């Protein structure tokens, strides 16, 4: 592939302004790495209110007439974020509202999400076709998760359109809507079929992308294998097995400038692998901030996650008596299901000096937990890639994680962290006990920390894999 390869990167999230998970950070970091590698990349993202405010210099470059069905007309604005061109898709009725990219401030999905993200997909396909109002034309449209899944369907029905890549960040979120949405979206005639966008009588954005895209990728090699099996396939495993020759798993990276303990402005003390003794200076300030007993000897176990069953939060709750009985402390940061939030709050009330729970999203506190904790818990039932284990490795905070998805691909058991197999509290507690036993050996513990800190977790390797995949798709 030539260095001038043109790629339209389509995303419903863009950190730090519009994100609900790791996709927002990937959408910020991967295009930058691709551009460093010579690709001509431009983003397409909805013009959420926060993005419009953050990019005030955005200027109109095109008007998109009403594209059919119930889809509204829109405007296309061009801005720049850290050197990356960004097209903001502006349709005030769709995107100028308070809440997350997907729902209101109470966490309830918007009822018109099929139109909001149908518009995003439709405009992506227009920009990748001969009907584009722009002089710049992509050779490949890179679609991310279900909100972009209809773009490959439209592209597949356009002569001379760009190739497409559908990247799955989490197969469990599929964008399912009633069959009537097919007409509202003015999708190609005949596409509402098993060999199309139909999924058990409903319209599936994600299935559309998986069926029609030129190539498919997901965010780790192990997850690429797992989703071809019934246990993790979410009903799409048969389709994915059929498309296995076109399916790749590419492990995500992280922004190593942002996640750098040597320069992190959120920390009480900066450190690196050569000054690992300074890491300990972050623990007592974190314990004080969280209201925990300032005990250097107590193992501090950190967790930063969406508080949902996928992340194994219930396993942490079940294992808590054993962990606390071993003298450990627990620090949890995140938001999620109300029942898990209430259970964590009750646990902290029973053990106020040993358990701290912060039901919020705080980037700064997340950095301090990564640095101040002794171990980082990620007992996920499934994990397409995971980013927090990569942060933890870089911060010398060995992760304790279930052997699944990207966790299995990024953690070497006993060498950089600790893995367990069964999704049970006993298995989690057993892995923590192994970690605490090694912690009694300072030389062995420091060697494990340095091995994790020395792992290459940047984006350049993944960017090279994506460039190769683009080339294959564009043939």
Q: Distance (Å, rounded) from C-alpha 163 to C-alpha 141?
A: 6
Beta-bridge mates of residue 215:
165
- Which value, to the nearest 10 degrees, does the dihedral of the CA atoms of residues 208, 210, 211, 216 take? 140
Domain 273-453: which topology?
Answer: Rossmann fold (3.40.50)
- The rounded distance, in Å, linking the Cα atoms of 211 and 168 is 13
Does residue 97 surpass a pLDDT of 60?
yes
Hey, do 6-253+460-473 and 273-453 end up sharing a CATH topology, with the first three levels equal? yes
C-alpha–C-alpha distance, residues 224 and 250, integer Å: 9
Question: What does the pLDDT read at residue 188?
Answer: 93
Give yes or no for a contact between 307 and 107, defined as CB atoms under 8 angstroms apart. Answer: no
140 bridge partner residues: 7, 163
Averaged pLDDT for residues 109-118: 97
CATH placement of domain 6-253+460-473:
3.40.50.2000
Sequence-distant (≥ 6) Cβ neighbours of residue 393 within 8 angstroms: 399, 410, 411, 416, 417, 452, 453, 455, 457
pLDDT for the residue numbered 106: 83
Render pLDDT for 437-468 as a digit per residue (tens, 0 to 9): 999 999 999 999 999 999 999 999 999 999 99
Confidence of residue 4 (pLDDT cuts 50, 70, 90): low
Question: Confidence band (pLDDT; 50, 70, 90) for 107?
Answer: confident
Torsion of CA 400, 393, 390, 385, to 10 degrees: -30
pTM for the complete prediction? 0.94
Q: Is the pLDDT of residue 31 over 90?
A: yes
What value, to the nearest 5°, has the Cα angle with vertex 220 and ends 218 and 223?
Answer: 80
Is residue 189 exposed (0-12), middle (13-18) or buried (19+ Cβ within 10 Å)? exposed
Mean pLDDT across 185-192: 95
Binning pLDDT at 50, 70 and 90, where does residue 2 land?
Answer: very low
Among 126, 150, 142, smallest CA distance to 64 is for: 126
Q: Name the percent of the chain lying above pLDDT 90.
A: 95
The whole-angstrom separation of Cα 300 and Cα 402 is 19
pLDDT at 3: 52
- Under a CB-based contact definition with an 8 Å cutoff, are residues 102 and 58 in contact? no
Asked whether the predicted pLDDT for residue 347 surpasses 90, the reply is yes
Given a cut of 50, is residue 326 above it in pLDDT? yes
Query: For position 20, what pLDDT does the model report?
Result: 85
Delimit the domains of the chain by residue range.
Answer: 6-253+460-473, 273-453
| CA dist., res. 178 & res. 460, Å (int) | 41
């Amino acid at each position: 592939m030539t260095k001038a390869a043109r790629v339209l990167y389509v995303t419903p999230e863009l950190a730090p302004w519009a994100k609900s998970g790791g996709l927002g950070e990937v959408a910020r970091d991967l295009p930058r790495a691709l551009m460093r590698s010579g690709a001509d990349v431009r983003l397409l993202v909805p013009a959420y209110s926060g993005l419009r405010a953050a990019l005030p210099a955005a200027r109109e470059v095109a008007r998109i007439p009403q594209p059919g069905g119930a889809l509204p007309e829109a405007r296309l604005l061009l801005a720049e974020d850290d050197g990356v061109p960004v097209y903001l898709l502006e349709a005030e009725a769709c995107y100028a509202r308070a809440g997350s990219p997907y729902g209101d401030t109470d966490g309830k999905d918007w009822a018109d999400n099929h139109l909001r993200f149908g518009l995003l997909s439709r405009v992506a396909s227009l920009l990748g076709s001969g009907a584009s109002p722009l002089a710049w034309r992509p050779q490949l449209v890179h679609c991310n998760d279900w909100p972009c899944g209809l773009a490959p369907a439209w592209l597949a029905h356009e002569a001379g359109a760009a190739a497409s890549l559908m990247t799955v960040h989490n197969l469990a979120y599929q964008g399912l809507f009633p069959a009537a949405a097919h007409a509202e979206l003015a999708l190609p005639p005949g596409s509402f079929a098993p060999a199309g966008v139909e999924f058990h009588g409903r319209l599936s954005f994600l299935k559309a992308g998986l069926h029609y895209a030129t190539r498919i990728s997901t965010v780790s090699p192990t997850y690429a294998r797992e989703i071809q099996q019934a246990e993790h396939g979410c009903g799409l495993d048969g389709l994915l097995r059929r498309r296995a020759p076109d399916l790749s798993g590419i492990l995500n990276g992280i922004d190593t400038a942002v996640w750098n303990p040597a320069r992190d402005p959120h920390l009480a003390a900066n450190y690196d692998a050569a000054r690992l003794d300074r890491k300990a200076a972050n623990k007592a300030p974190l314990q004080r901030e969280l209201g925990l007993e300032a005990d250097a000897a107590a193992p501090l176990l950190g967790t930063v996650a969406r508080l949902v069953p996928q992340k194994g939060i219930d396993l942490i709750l079940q294992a808590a008596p054993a962990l606390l009985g071993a003298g450990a402390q627990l620090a949890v940061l995140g938001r999620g299901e109300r029942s898990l939030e209430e259970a964590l709050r009750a646990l902290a009330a029973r053990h106020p000096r040993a358990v701290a729970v912060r039901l919020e999203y705080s980037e700064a506190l997340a950095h301090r937990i990564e640095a101040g904790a002794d171990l980082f818990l990620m007992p996920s039932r499934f994990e397409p890639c995971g980013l927090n284990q990569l942060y933890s490795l870089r911060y010398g905070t060995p992760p304790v994680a279930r052997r699944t998805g990207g966790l299995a691909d990024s953690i070497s058991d006993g060498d950089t962290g600790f893995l367990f197999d069964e999704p049970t509290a006993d298995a989690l507690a057993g892995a923590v006990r192994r970690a605490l036993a090694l912690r009694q050996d300072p030389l062995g513990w420091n060697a494990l920390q340095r091995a994790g800190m020395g792992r290459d977790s940047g984006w350049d390797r993944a960017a090279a894999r994506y460039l190769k995949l683009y080339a294959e798709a564009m043939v």
